[in-house]
A and B are shown apart, each in its own frame.
Chain A
């Protein structure tokens, strides 16, 4: 359904996106997670034909965003992270305007608008001016607007940010309904738990690169469990390999001359014990260091909001 290949966006010499590759199947709810400035909005803007990529391309339903932007616009419903509404319009006029923007006949719009308002729980606000609506209501109205031409794909940039917990739950319920309607939904957030519950797949983006992609549970273990440890040795590498292999928390040992690298799943205490044991076993260690791994920082950044969610 959605195919992203080598997508790159440069601002001057700064890479907002660096060769992003991603493939999302039809009917998937895809959560795009990354800290602020990771490149989520940039990706979504390119997919919505609002931003020209420096290199690479993306296809939705077989149409290229750079070569067939007119076709793409009919396929997608886009909700930006920050947006304004026309304050002087009433909720139903707002939807009517966008309905006509997609060439939907007036009679059909008249039927569609109450249904959409119903879907986003705004029936009672139909004849209210948009500027008196709360932030959560505006957000839902905008969501209704993205649906007016019955697009196959929804691209929602941080739809839950800035909402209070109740509004967030309401938004989540609507999204579940949309999922059951078979739409392919791309939704971004800088907080992983916010998305975890409603997504089929999660992609984690950091500094313009996709660093993880998979099911929600796979991503969570991948992000949580692993430390990467590098051990530098004076000599007798073989002995050291044998020693570390015996430890139940160690996997994937790689040898590089006098240096060992492996993944470690143990706690800090167990790690201390391992080092002590190694020293006592006379393994000539010159350095024993936990590698600064991107994932760890990313995980910290995107799980900060756990309590709020």
Chain B
């Protein structure tokens, strides 16, 4: 059974967005295949890997398990919006670059969105354990995590400098 499409209205990366969606489409499918925002990755597609992590009203969530119609009226931020918010390159992205925290890069967008949510929530330098806890839903199969944790800690310090 295919139900009729409906108009979804929400904010995506700061822009008012209206898009026709079928009720069984996930937020990830709409972002990637209807809005061409391919930064959020389709990994396991069932909640294990975290590659699809986006922020909904600032809270990091899995776009692969979110129905698109459920973000009606809400604010969605993807990795594309993270860079835009910082006018090009976000301090987290810069730190990932300097620490070689990305290898294949597939998990990076999801990790950036989970890390950004942590830094925005606490608004101070974070400890490696806090980063580990906040990124406990994001798998990386290349780096071994150490460089990712270093990068997030470093970015949190730089962001906290006056």
Q: Do A and B bind each other?
A: no
Point out residues on A near B: beta carbons under 8 Å.
none
